[in-house]
Amino acid sequence: MINFLKQFFTWWNGQTLGTRFFTWRKGERVGEDEFGNVYYRAPSAIPSSIAERRWVIYSDVAEPSAIPPGWHGWIHHRVDSPPDAAYQAREWQKTHEANPTGTAQAYRPAGSLFKPQPSEEETRGYQAWQPD
């Protein structure tokens, strides 16, 4: 019951009811990645001018950066065939790291109100101006 409500009221938890219906009606399952994301495709209504439609149903929260490099190339029409089970990422391709925005690990530039106060060592040699 809770999954039905999530699909009805939220778009970031896997799939919505509209996406579920479209996938059931037109989608052809292509494969699944190591994160549990499932990839689909549907033939184009106008094959001569529009490429086939490709989409992903996320296993958990919709995190587009969690798509592995091989599937990223396929879903963006960079390659024609989806990656097979023997696909290996190249050595320069990084593994997925969750987006830290809004967490304690987020980048905080100097002067940010959320950055911890600088230590005594960092402010050595600096004295703030005081009006007379």
Q: Which residues of the chain have pLDDT under 70?
A: 1-14, 117-124, 126
Structure tokens at 81: 């065939």
Structure tokens at 73: 């190339």
Structure tokens at 127: 């004295």
The pLDDT score that the predictor gives to residue 16 is 72
- CB-based burial of residue 29 (10 Å sphere; 0-12 exposed, 13-18 middle, 19+ buried)? exposed
- pTM tops 0.75, yes or no: no
The pLDDT score that the predictor gives to residue 40 is 93
Distances (CA, A) of 113 to 52, 103, 107, 108, 129: 47, 14, 12, 9, 20
Query: Per residue in 69-79, pLDDT tens?
Result: 888 888 998 88
**Domain locations along the chain:** 2-75
